[in-house]
Structure 1
Amino acid sequence: MSQPESTSKDTLPAWVDSSHISGMLRGIERESLRMQSTGFLSQADHPKALGAALTHSHITTDYSEALMEFITPPKETIGQALDELKDIHTVAHRYLEHDEKLWPLSMPCMLDDHDENIRLAQYGSSNIGRFKTLYRHGLGVRYGRRMQTISGVHYNLSFPDHFFEALQAHETDEQLKTLSLQDYRSHRYFGLIRNFIRLTPLVMFAVGASPSVCQCFMTGREHHLLPLLRGTLYLPYATALRMGRFGYQNSAQKQLGIHYNNLNDYLDGLQKAVKTPYAPFTRLGLKNAQGEPIQINDHVLQIENEYYSLVRPKQVPQDGETPSEALKNRGVSYVELRAVDVNPYSSIGIDENTAGFLEALALYCLLKDSPNLYDDEQEVIEKNQAEVVNRGRAPNAEMLENGEKHFIEDWCRHYLTELQPMGALLDSAYQTELYRNALETMLKRVNDVDTTLSAKMIEDTLALGGTWSFGSHMAQLHVAEYEQHQLSAEKWAYFDDIAQQSLKRQQQLEQDNQISFEQYLTHFR
């Protein structure tokens, strides 16, 4: 088998230096289930002391009521982002009730046999709050509520405008040189997205951390998983089952033909999906026997965010804008990298090695030539993803690229070598060795698969007697970290004030209902 051809010297232009990437911003979104002391999923309401999930800027909920989401604002360094995330976790832990803990794995803690005991996230009686809950109800009707207990980490990253200006000035294509900065920036971000999709198997191998699941997660589902020990299912060489067919998938979406070749085509594809009825969802109906709505509509997507993707182009919506309208009006301002499992060995679900690796990879994806991505190549990528998800640590696991097969270790090693100049540039920009150390850590995992997170998790799950025992053990270790972490009085006051303001904003929204929810829903439809 041939080695992939090296292109690193062509990827990082000689004129690029650390000043060009000065001003990068990153933010982190981490999800975590609340777990009862019994090990089962929490049945309790979102703690009121944490504020209103609908309107809180840092602490909210995702699909289920027990699935907390912690959001940092954009930060200038990785250290600042991780510190902020640690503060948010510490605040959340302080106000958890009934001896609950934060579950530290991507795949859920113990679930009972009844899907209805996975409570939908609740956002109050305002129309927008009820709409958000109805959307989640629709997801449950379509895919089952167990899908709404999976956790992940989303890494948000933006590059400064002066970098895009410099890149555009060095373009040789006259059409690209005449684009507005907004359109050129979107063009480059879409190139980043296509390359990131191509390289998601590397992410899954390097930071995948869901090689096994609690048996309860598979209740009522056919699967090919094997028993690891009582109560735990796995695949011997799996890395990231969360990213495979047991994670959140939408088979209807495969028919959409949504491509990331340019912003307009992407937005057209999304709009088609949110306006096109889909027969299986039509058969589910829009109301239950009591006349209550059960899904927003019967379309391929209820709303744009239902489109599942490993990476998303993003723009901050202004009041009244949908995500697509924000992108159309102001272009892409950052990307959301979503193919990242929760690291159970970190009390905040991510460490600086993962963050540094993702940033070096994103910079590489931005700078590397990025041909358009069509269905035939997408099929190859999906086969590569399935290979690494299910058997990425197998001695004979292979990646297919440009019609040639490569052993996965060679393939990953090639791209990690390609990332070295990016890591050096980032280290120079931040006067650190964080990025070099991060890439060395990932290379060590490639060279010795027993040091991967997925392999370590299997070893520890066996040693501790199962998924719940391993997760509970790590959760308790994380509790000790939260309780030792010191926040200043000003920081506590800051979070208390945000919580109180969020409750007031939710109350105001509920008082401002001008029309009934039925009218609100009809207008949206």
Structure 2
Amino acid sequence: MSQPESTSQVVVPTWVDSSLFKGMLRGIERESLRMQSNGFLSQASHPQALGSALTHPHITTDYSEALMEFITPPQDSIEKALDYLADIHAVAHRHLENGEKLWPLSMPCMLDDNEENIRLAQYGSSNIGRFKTLYRRGLGVRYGRRMQTISGVHYNLSFPDQVFEALQQHESDEALKSLSLQDYRSHRYFGLIRNFIRLTPLVMFLVGASPSVCQCFMTGRDHHLLPLLKGTLFLPYATALRMGNFGYQNSAQKQLGIHYNNLSGYLDGLQKAVKTPYAPFSRLGLNDEQGEPIQINDHVLQIENEYYSLVRPKQVPQAGETPSQALKNRGVGYVELRAVDVNPYSPIGIDENTAAFLEVLALHCLVQDSPDLLDPEQEQIERNQAEVVNRGRAPNATIVDAAGKHPIEDWARTQVIKMQPWADLLDAAYNTRMYSAALAVMLNRIDEVDETLSAQVIADTLEHGGTWGFGSVMALQHATTYEQHSLSPDTLAYFEGLAEQSLQQQQQLEQDTSISFEQYLADYR
């Protein structure tokens, strides 16, 4: 669907009706470290009362044992998704032990010098449980365990089939018109992904909230960060250091050439990476001196999920399917927007404004033309991302695109203004003003750079004497919010039932000893 380009307003085709967008679904995944009362990373195991991290659908762990992950099921409104996430936080907080709290920032709380004290996530003695822990051990060997303490927010979003049916009906290209709905849906979602990648600098500028880090995170690493005050490092105009060189970066992955121009090319690239040995990882070896495995394999990626990207095409896997097989068999079902820092001012890590902004942005990315993303443009986008990550709030920060070089505020304002018609449509579909209000908040951050989350984080870090001081003040505030959050008897019973059920499921998996772990791993390798 071709849209006339305009710096002021996007023209919405007359056939687009707000009712098309009823039926959008969104789910949220939020990560948060457990910290001890002294501010150091928790050394305790995942609380038993919360159930099994292996099999619980909503409360699990990610890379390290102390990194909790809260996952909502898909919801038909933003309010319901945020309410569900708030319930999960309140339930989890009830079962934290020894005065532990949830750390509110994307970059970690206090880490000591010994990386071994960043415990790998444990999933029990079943083959799948041990495999998951081994994958994390491999990540630690490859990139260092400090990486396994970074938290983010992933926003999952799907559009209803009637949107794709209407878009396809109005295509002028006969080849696109003749695609099956599944293939056309995948085609449009890949267009969304390419446009989202083009606009990730905007996301980092508007919702980036990691302009500084605790000095302990940089132990043993070369860096160009400056001291903000004792124990805290920063860059004066940074927005989202988590999204830069200190986050998950993999030089091996850079050479993969995985592209988002179509589903088959994307899957081919992933498969190649999972099967291609990479010399620096081969040198690490597969086993330690005791003969214990230290990584799943020595390939560019141990498993598909190791490919770290800012946005992912997703399909819910069925029993026994890998993520790639699910995509191949049923096409793209939703997108996972991953370039989002934890908002330290929200007790649940994300607020209504960010959620609504991401949905307008995603719709905007879906309906605009989306040419193939080729290497020269990809390299320019990466330069733009680095500019925003490291100095996005600088008075002379610039973005370069096909039209030339722009001051970041001008470029960002142009992009947000183009989204307004889609915000109006979503407001009409959901009978709300939430979407337009969110864009107004974002325009205010563009006009007043001190209103950005990253600027506020720096001001509050200074006020509270450092990362630890600011983080602990917010953690305490959030803990009070969780305690005051009322959980209905039904909700409490539901989560208690899930915890019990998940422990039973883990036990069942552990009783299956028909194949040894050594054989299980050999079969995978």
Counterparts in 2 of 1:7 and 1:315: CA distance versus 1, 3 Å:
farther
C-alpha separation between the residues in 2 aligned to 1:409 and 1:9?
17
Secondary structure class of the residue paired with 2:355: helix
SS of alignment partner, residue 253 of structure 2:
helix
Distance 2:9 2:212 in 1: 39
* Structure 1 residue 6, shift from structure 2 partner: 2.0
In 2 relative to 1, CA 28–256 (structure 1 residues): closer, same or farther, beyond 3 Å?
Answer: same
Give 4+ residue runs of structure 1 displaced > 4 Å after superposition: 7-11
The code of the aligned residue for 1:333 comes to G
SS in 2 for 1:356: helix
Instruction: Report what 2:381 is aligned to.
Output: 381
| 3-state SS, counterpart of residue 380 of structure 1 | helix
1:285-300 residue pairs with structure 2 within 5 A?
A: 285-300=285-300
- Could you tell me which residue of structure 1 aligns to residue 59 of structure 2? 59
1:494 aligns with 2:486: no
1:10 and 1:435 mapped to 2: Cα distance?
A: 16
Match of 2:457 in 1: 457
Contact 1:210 / 1:239 at 8 angstroms: preserved in 2? yes
Query: 2-side partners of 1:137 and 1:29: how far apart?
Result: 22
Is 1:42 aligned to residue 67 of structure 2?
A: no
Residues 444-480 of structure 1 deviation map (CA, whole Å, 9 limit, x = unaligned): 0000000000000100000010000000000000011
Check the 8 A contact 1:12/1:367 in 2, yes or no: no
Q: Is the 8 A contact 1:32 1:68 kept in 2?
A: yes
Q: Is residue 186 of structure 2 the alignment partner of residue 186 of structure 1?
A: yes
1:146 aligns to 2:146 (yes or no): yes
Residue type at the aligned position of 2:484:
Q
Say if 1:11 and 1:367, in contact at 8 Å, map to a contact too.
no
Deviation at 1:14, TM superposition (A): 2.1
Alignment of 1:393 with 2:384, yes or no, is no
- Contact 2:353/2:434 (CA < 8 Å) preserved in 1? yes
Deviation at 1:11, TM superposition (A): 5.8
Question: What are the superposed Cα offsets for residues 20-76 of structure 1, whole Å, 9 maximum, x if unpaired?
Answer: 111000000000000000100000000000000000000000000000000000000
Q: How many residues end up aligned between the 2 structures?
A: 522
Distance 2:457 2:425 in 1: 33
Residue matched to 1:441: 441
Q: Does 1:348 align with 2:348?
A: yes
Distance 1:321 1:5 in 2: 41
d(CA) in 2 for partners of 1:514, 1:92 = 35
1:516 aligns with 2:492: no
For 1:253-287, what per-residue CA distance to the aligned partner results, in whole angstroms no more than 9, with x for missing partners?
Answer: 01111000000000000000000000000000000
Query: Does 1:337 pair with 2:331?
Result: no
Identity of aligned residues (%): 78
Q: 1:403 and 1:486 mapped to 2: Cα distance?
A: 52
Alpha-carbon contact 1:274-1:304 (below 8 Å) kept = yes
The separation in 2 between residues aligned to 1:9 and 1:162, in whole angstroms, is 25
- Contact kept in structure 1, 2:7 and 2:414, CA below 8 Å: no
Contact 2:152 2:340 in 1 (8 A): yes
Task: Report the counterpart of residue 125 of structure 2 in structure 1.
Answer: 125
| Paired position in structure 1 for 2:157 | 157
SS at match of 1:156: strand
**Contact 2:8/2:414 (<8 A) preserved:** no
TM-score relative to the length of structure 1: 0.99
Shift of 1:374: 1.1
**Separation (CA, whole Å) in 1 of partners of 2:325 and 2:239:** 37
Supply the distance in 2 between the matched residues of 1:385 and 1:95 (Cα, whole angstroms): 39
Matched residues in 2 for 1:7 and 1:460: separation? 36
Cα offset, 1:5, TM superposition: 6.1
Find the aligned partners of 2:13 and 2:521 in 1 and give their Cα distance.
51
Q: Does 1:26 align with 2:18?
A: no
In the superposition, relative to structure 1, how do residues 394 and 9 fare at CA in structure 2: closer, same or farther (>3 Å)? closer
Question: C-alpha displacement at 1:12, in angstroms?
Answer: 3.0
Shift of 1:10: 4.9
Extract unaligned runs of 5+ from structure 2: none
Q: Aligned-pair RMSD on alpha carbons?
A: 1.0
Equivalent residue, structure 1, for 2:169: 169
Task: Give the corresponding residue for 2:253.
Answer: 253
Is 1:466 the counterpart of 2:492? The answer is no
TM-score (norm 2): 0.99
